[in-house]
Amino acid sequence: MTATQPAADTTDQYSISHQIVIVGGGSAGITVAAQLLKQMRSLDILIIEPSEQHYYQPGWTLVGGGCISFEATVQPQQTLIPQDATWLQDKVVQFDPDQNCLHTQNGTQVTYDYLVVCPGIQINWNQIKGLQEALGKGEVCSNYAIGGATHTWETIKRFQGGNAIFTYPATPIKCAGAPQKIMYLADEAFGKNGVRKKTQISYCTATGKIFGVDAFVPALMKVVERKGIDLRTQHNLTEIRPDQKVALFAVSNGNETETISLPYDMIHVTPPMSAPDVLKHSPLAVEGPGGWVDVDKFTTQHNRYPNIFSLGDASSLPTSKTAAAIRREAPVLVQNLLAHMNQTPLMGQYNGYSCCPLITGYDKTILAEFDYEAQPYPSFPLDATKERTSMWLLKRHVLPWVYWNRMLKGKEHEGNFIRRLLPNTAFELSKKA
């Protein structure tokens, strides 16, 4: 069974059936499918994914900072579907795990023996009043919009000084470091353009600190202080008024919340995010708020439906929502899914590893790697909290290549490969950084 093109004719069928169905053809879905087929080529795998294009979203900070083009982060979905998998270009609108089936937007009922759920995260632009109307126009930008990073770079280039605001919402998001990474690049771009001295940069975060993992906070605070950035915690963006060039924030102070307005000459918005609505209202979701797929944090197996697994942004795994986390989650899920199929114990254990290359300038990066214990979990025998040129080179040049050429092809664990690829270069440059 081979299909490297959309299975368009399946939409005319009322019901189709596959051994393994993967919902989502992003980083998680493609990686899992590729790894499963490397283990057992005879597996019958269906990937359900509506998008024509596949995006390397970790590269959008680099696009927003003028380092690479948006086109460098895009490839046709068709070219990435593993050769022995089938692609159904459609969207899931209902899960029925008690009947081992789901329903798609085009009216197809899909039954399965095993299900992997990884449709990604939902971006809720409409939760900030006025944002949808203002986004991508004038001074309002966001790297989280498809193609939006190009507008971010255009906004940074033409900025002539004044108030530049960068926001972080009161929800989980894709890559918790991304909102500040683009801010640090903007700071240096403003300096190169001669407008930094007449610019006030503010980082308005709904959280109580600069970063969620305490081990990296002191190093990042030094960056904030060195760059003269105004850090405003407990500031949650609620409204954009582009005609007045004003942003409204709900500011928490103990048990009280007040609304304040801040003028801007440029604002980069990180919008609220959540699990997709189709998951929130399904039996797969965790109880209570969130709506994430309810899985065991070590095995990635669903807590109520043993033939269902989940990873990536839509899962309840309590770690950062990054491609680096998926690279460690995927082998565990694959091992445990195959074990479950063979009716053997699930031995794979995910330790919560995630990685956020915190770009602090055009030649500096803190490679923040950590686990469920919120402790540094470095791939290299170096101080993980230090800014390094070598980690910038890793982020800028190596990781995109690894993503397209190894991760999505189900090849060897990227950590082992990178350690072999860059041992001397990384260590020598790190000593000089």
Task: Give buried/exposed letters for 214-248 (b at 16+ CB in 10 A, else e).
Answer: eebeebbeebbeebebebbebbbbbebebeebebb
Q: Please say if 204 is a catalytic residue.
A: no
What is the residue type of 77?
Q
Q: Which of 118, 141, 355, 356 is an active site residue? A: 356
Nearest to 286 by CA among 319, 316, 314, 320: 316
Mention every residue, 6+ apart, whose C-beta is less than 8 A from residue 56: 72, 73, 74, 75, 400, 403, 404
Instruction: Check 118, 141, 175, 204 and give the catalytic one.
Output: 175
Is residue 67 flagged as an active site residue? no
Task: Report, as residue numbers or ranges, the catalytic residues.
Answer: 175, 356
